[in-house]
Chains A and B, each alone.
Chain A
Amino acid sequence: MPLEAREVSFRYGRGEWVLRRASLSVCAGEVVGLRGESGSGKTTFARVIAGYLRPQEGEVYLDGAPLPRHCYNPVQLMHQHPEKAVNPRWRMRDTLAEAWDVDDATLDALGVDASWLGRWPNELSGGELQRICLARALSPRTRYLIADEITTMLDAVTQAQIWKAILVRVRESGLGVLAVSHDRSLLERVADRVVDVEEIAAAR
């Protein structure tokens, strides 16, 4: 059962169109790589397909029905700066608890050290924080992960660790992933297929 963006168009206010009739689908258990330079509209597309931005035209479908808007979103979005995605006044434990009752198996799989849970966001490094965000996103109800440049600011070892953990979830529980990045060699490593952001828009 796929996650599908059908001919979505988006612009901010009355500005120029950032996306014009863009279509892409991701299946359960599939990793699709979306490549593009900065400013190419790939981040906007990621937000639209995750349901964070409502397209002015077109629609995003999950299992053939429009994305649910008022209950838990099974499509979770992660981005480049984890420090902007957590409440600075909450300890990590509370940040996780708000989302779901994160189990030890998930924490282990993501290499989250138990000692991090009692810390504040500013006491953790970017890589540590990003793993906390990943644990938060991967609740059992999450079926798709939209990963927008999530390892761009991280070193190679941490990047490989995070992607290995995601790929295990893909294989074992059929998580579908849209991996958005400027980095072609990364996408070739993690994705079953790679498309360029220019290719997904309908021909003018």
Chain B
Amino acid sequence: MDGEKESLMERVVMVEEDVMLPGMNAASEEAARSEEDLFPDVRETLLEVKDLAISFVQYSKGLRQRTVSPIVDLNLIVDVGEVVAVVGESGSGKSLLAHSILGILPSNARVTGEINYDGRALTPERVKELRGREITFVPQSVQFLNPLMRVGAQIPAKGKDKRERKKKVRSVFERYRLPAGTEKKFPYQLSGGMARRVLVASATVGGARLIVADEPTPGLDEAAIREALGHLRELADEGRAVMLISHDLEQALGISDRVAVFYAGTTLEEARADDFNGDGCDLRHPYTRALWKALPSNGFLAIPGNQPTPDNLPPGCLFSPRCQMATEECFSVKPHKRDLRGGWVRCHHAA
């Protein structure tokens, strides 16, 4: 309860700050306003991941010790009102990032860097307070639901009594077109599409502000996919923030504002969704371009080589063993994150 009040307070403060920054005079206020006309959506960042690195020490036979670094350099910002897609192949760190935001990393994980939520560090204590309420998760698998429990009872709705709780569940189910009686069903009695709707309903019933969706469409038919993604877009449009983890770039582009491209535990680029067009000239990183051009509808081009494994990362740029543009520098010097054309990139030679 306290946590909710506190963050509400913070929200009020943030809004005030937006209106009047210290040292602003009338003229700059006007300038700011006209700028606002040009850029109507002023960014209000809800989630910020900054230079996140996660490693594990593994002991194999004979007590030999080795360090694996599945996450090396992740950066990501999710603003209010946005869907930000996190794309990359399996093993690129997408799900592990979700786990760290939700505070469910294994205890032997070594974490450096920052995760900030609503302007403050997302500490383990804080995430415990927010998880399931302000920060919710739409899982990949329907197996997340308890198979032995009726679905109505699994929706984390709060009410002062049973009736109020039931009413809340019914109203969120209605929003997602789950017919009367769904509450009484067991998960196995639901179709794939309905189960997806139950999961979304479950993630939104308590007024979540940040929704982390992990591959929310596998196994669905086209209509159900469109619907599931449409729901996420809607949630962003009503002022929440959505982080959409997906291996399917094409699907993700359909509903996102921005795209963060992950590779071997590093964010290589942050692009706007509409940078993905034509032959990929607006994209900043060679890997992003390769991903775009590999789509069956674009060219189906396969670059050779593999994503490096977390116990054997190349010293310089992670993409250097596969990059056609690589120079000597690329093999030894890690490229830093730098801003470029309304996004950013980690590449020495991106222009």
Residues of chain A touching chain B, judged by Cβ–Cβ distance below 8 Å, are 37-39, 111, 113, 115, 123-128, 152-161, 163-164, 182-183, 185-186, 188-189
> What is the CA–CA distance of A111 and B221 in the complex, to the nearest angstrom?
31
Task: For residue B38, give the distance in angstroms from its CB to the closest CB of chain A.
Answer: 35
**Distance of A40 from chain B, by nearest CB (Å):** 8
Q: Which residue of chain B is the closest to A160 with respect to CB atoms?
A: B302
Docked-complex contact B290 and A155, CB < 8 angstroms:
no
B14 lies within 8 A of chain A by Cβ: no
Are B296 and A155 in contact, CB atoms less than 8 angstroms apart? Answer: no
Residue of A nearest to B307 (CB): A125
Inter-chain contact B90/A125, CB cutoff 8 Å: yes
CB-defined contacts of B89 to chain A, threshold 8 Å: 125, 127, 154-155, 157-158
CA distance A35 to B349 in the complex (A): 42
B interface residues with partner A (beta carbon < 8 Å): 87-91, 192, 218-222, 247, 249-250, 290-292, 294-297, 300-307, 309, 312
Number of interchain pairs (Cβ within 8 Å): 81
- Please tell me if the beta carbons of B249 and A155 are within 8 angstroms of each other in the complex: yes
Question: Please, which residues of chain B bring their CB within 8 A of the CB of A155?
Answer: 87-90, 247, 249, 291, 294
Least CB distance from A117 to B in Å reads 13
| Interface residue SS majority, chain B | loop
Secondary structure dominating the interface of A: helix
- C-alpha spacing A126/B89, complex, angstroms: 9
If A156-B250, A157-B303, A158-B89 are given as contacts, then 12 extra A-B residue pairs at C-beta distance below 8 Å, sorted by A number, are A37-B222, A38-B221, A126-B91, A128-B306, A154-B89, A154-B90, A155-B247, A159-B294, A160-B294, A160-B301, A164-B302, A189-B296
Report the minimum CB–CB distance from A51 to chain B (whole Å): 24
Q: Which of A39, A113, A155 has the most B CB atoms < 10 Å from its CB?
A: A155
Q: Which of chain A's residues have a CB closer than 8 A to the CB of B218? A: 152-153
Q: How far is the CA of A80 from the CA of B90 in the complex (A)?
A: 14
For the complex, give the distance between the alpha carbons of A164 and B296 in Å.
12
Chain B proximity of A154: nearest CB distance (Å): 6
A62 and B251 CA atoms in complex are apart in Å by 38
Let me know if A156 and B291 touch, CB within 8 A. Answer: yes
CB of B152, distance to nearest CB on chain A (Å): 25
CB pair A156 B90 closer than 8 Å = no
Q: Which residues of A lie under 8 Å from residue B222 when comparing CB positions?
A: 37, 182
Instruction: Report the minimal beta-carbon distance from A106 to chain B, rounded to whole angstroms.
Output: 16
* Closest A residue, CB atoms, query B310: A123
Residue ID in chain B nearest A130 by CB atoms = B90
Q: How far is the CA of A127 from the CA of B247 in the complex (A)?
A: 11
Contacts of B290 in A (CB 8 A): 157
- Picked from B219, B220, B291, the residue with its CB within 8 Å of the CB of A157 is B291
Instruction: Determine the distance from Cα of A127 to Cα of B291 in the docked complex, in whole angstroms.
Output: 14
Q: Are B221 and A157 in contact (CB under 8 A)?
A: no
- Contact assessment for B221 and A160 in the assembled complex, using a CB-CB cutoff below 8 Å: no
B192 touching A157, Cβ below 8 Å: no
Nearest residue (CB) in A for B220 is A38
Q: Find out whether the CB atom of B90 lies under 8 angstroms from the CB atom of A126.
A: yes
What residues of B have a CB within 8 angstroms of the CB of A126 in the complex?
A: 90-91
